[in-house]
Amino acid sequence: MSTTTKKKRKIKKVSQALSVVIGAFITAYGLEAILIPNNVSDGGVTGLSIVGSQLFGMPLGILIGILNIPFVFLGYKQIGKSFAIYSVIGIASLAYGTSIMHHVPTIIHGDTLLVTVVGGIIIGFGMGLALRNGGALDGIDMLAVLLSRKLPFGTSDLILFLNLFVFIVVSTVFGLQGAFLSGIAYFIASKVIHTVEEGLSGSKTFKIITSEPELMVETIRDRLGRSATYNVVEGGYSNEKFKEITCIINRLEDSKMKEIINEVDKYAFVAVYDVAEVKGGNFKKRDIH
């Protein structure tokens, strides 16, 4: 490996670590400046840490660090060394961030709707930034992944179940209203995390079976500047062969793509999939002007 390549990899790792730290501090601010002062918690290990801090008077940062130790080890065993290292950096930064921000002024007070929405957005952005750069700030997702391999339930089902348990525990400290608000804030945060991980634009894959495949591809190329590929498929009942068109577009081009399909062949069979990431190939958009 050349010196230049090693230097680039080192810069990338430092950049990722710095992004994880920034994400952790953003999350800490959302907790200390918005959620906790308004008796609203987070989900996962962080939520349990908040409850423990309120019940026993222990510093939140210490509990976050201690309770996440087994999950970091689990992440190391199940996902890998680099993920565990970035997670340690993130969790340690979150723990430190909650300690130094414990007395920051509360920016929202009393308005429950605003508290859950703004708090959920801030902590979701922070956690999403950490996950996008290879680290995690909470270990409950790792536990869900492990349990899904041993139990007849999906990962998302187990994450929901584990967090329901967390919010039941939260209700013992913040009451039922606090638990419900915590659930709403967690839901908002999970949506923001998903958006930050995928990016704001995202991509979609269109699979199209039409009686006019050549015209469809030509129109897509002329009107959208996108290329497409063919797959020969066979009907399971009729045994008739078709050209299935596959085309990946930017999410913002979705309505235009559907308009083109409807114009060329309104009876075309269309399946649409969300795409998390696109790399390489000929995905670049051709100039259509």
How far apart, in Å, are the Cα atoms of 148 and each of 143, 144, 157? Answer: 9, 6, 9
> Cβ(226)–Cβ(249) under 8 Å?
yes
- Six-digit token string for 110: 């009393």
Q: Which residues contact 259 (CB under 8 A, 6 or more apart)?
A: none
- Six-digit token string for 165: 């348990």
**DSSP state letters, 71-119:** HHHHHHHHT-HHHHHHHHHHHHHHHHHHHHTTTPPPS--S-HHHHHHHH
- Judged by DSSP in three states, 41 sits in coil
Whether 216 has a pLDDT exceeding 90, the answer reads: yes
Whether 149 has a pLDDT exceeding 70, the answer reads: no
Q: What is the mean pLDDT of the chain?
A: 86
Cα dihedral sign, 55-60-66-68: positive
Cα separation, 40 vs 33, in Å, equals 11
* Residue extent(s) of CATH 3.30.70.120 domains in the chain: 203-275
> Cβ(61)–Cβ(174) under 8 Å?
no
Of the candidates 118, 123, 156, 136, the residue with the CA atom closest to the CA atom of residue 82: 136
End-to-end CA distance of the chain: 43
Q: What is the mean pLDDT of residues 86-105?
A: 92
> How far is CA 84 from its chain centroid?
18
Does the global pTM surpass 0.85? no
203-275 CATH fold: Alpha-Beta Plaits (3.30.70)
Cα separation, 228 vs 278, in Å, equals 14
Whether 30 has a pLDDT exceeding 90, the answer reads: yes
Higher model confidence: residue 156 or residue 219?
A: 219
Kindly indicate the confidence band of residue 267, based on its pLDDT and cuts at 50, 70 and 90. Answer: very high
Burial of residue 193 (CB within 10 Å: 0-12, 13-18, 19+) is buried
Cα separation, 121 vs 260, in Å, equals 36
Kindly indicate the confidence band of residue 285, based on its pLDDT and cuts at 50, 70 and 90. Answer: low
> Cβ(57)–Cβ(126) under 8 Å?
no
Cα separation, 238 vs 220, in Å, equals 28
Whether 268 has a pLDDT exceeding 80, the answer reads: yes
Whether 1 has a pLDDT exceeding 60, the answer reads: no
